[in-house]
Amino acid sequence: MKKQIFVVALIGAALLAAGPGRAQQPAPNPRDAIPDKMPFDVPYGPPISLERAQAVIGAAVAEAKKRAWKMNFAVVDSGGNLVAFARMDEAQLASIAVSEHKARAAATYRRETKVFENGIQNGNPYLVTLDGVIGSRGGIPLIENGKLIGAIGASGGTGSQDEVCAKAGAELVK
């Protein structure tokens, strides 16, 4: 019994001697990395025209109809201003504002809104502090000749359904 107490005391003394200097160091924060180039550095271009915005929405609506999904679609210009909107029959009313929000976030931040969704899911709470961010896929920038001319936002289904339809509309601009 004395031998067991001595061994436990010896182990305890060794742990105390190790002290806090040998404590496990926190993992480095990946957000401390400094990229060589600006991410998502797409220059703003001239605003999308009404005619093109309506064609983008038409392609997105066609994709939604093909799949029997009821959706809302918004297209904004390169400054995030609404150019065109369509609500399919019986599409969810709450998704009207969400589709506009997705389009605006994709245009002003020059990236797909899926980037925000992924970042939030991967534990980056900083993203939710940014004005105008929406952590849901379905906002796609419209890039023509390397310049951002606007963005489309889709809402009414799941995030993946919204994304499929928005991408179908965005394909018209490429």
pLDDT value of position 126 = 87
Segments of the chain with pLDDT less than 70: 1-23
According to DSSP, the residues that pair with 151 across neighbouring strands are 76, 141
Where do the domains of the chain lie? Answer: 2-27, 50-170
- End-to-end Cα, the chain, rounded Å: 80
CATH fold of the domain at 50-170: Beta-Lactamase (3.30.450)
pLDDT value of position 5 = 57
Adjacency order of strands within the sheet including 139-144: 82-87, 72-77, 147-155, 139-144
C-alpha to C-alpha distance for 142 and 57, rounded to whole angstroms: 12
18-45: pLDDT as tens digits: 555 556 788 887 778 888 888 888 999 9
DSSP state of 81: -
pLDDT value of position 139 = 98
pTM, whole model, 2 decimals? 0.81
pLDDT value of position 55 = 98
pLDDT value of position 103 = 98
- Residues 73 and 95: beta-carbon distance below 8 Å: no
In what helix (H) or strand (E) does residue 76 lie, and over which residues does it extend? strand 72-77
pLDDT value of position 13 = 52
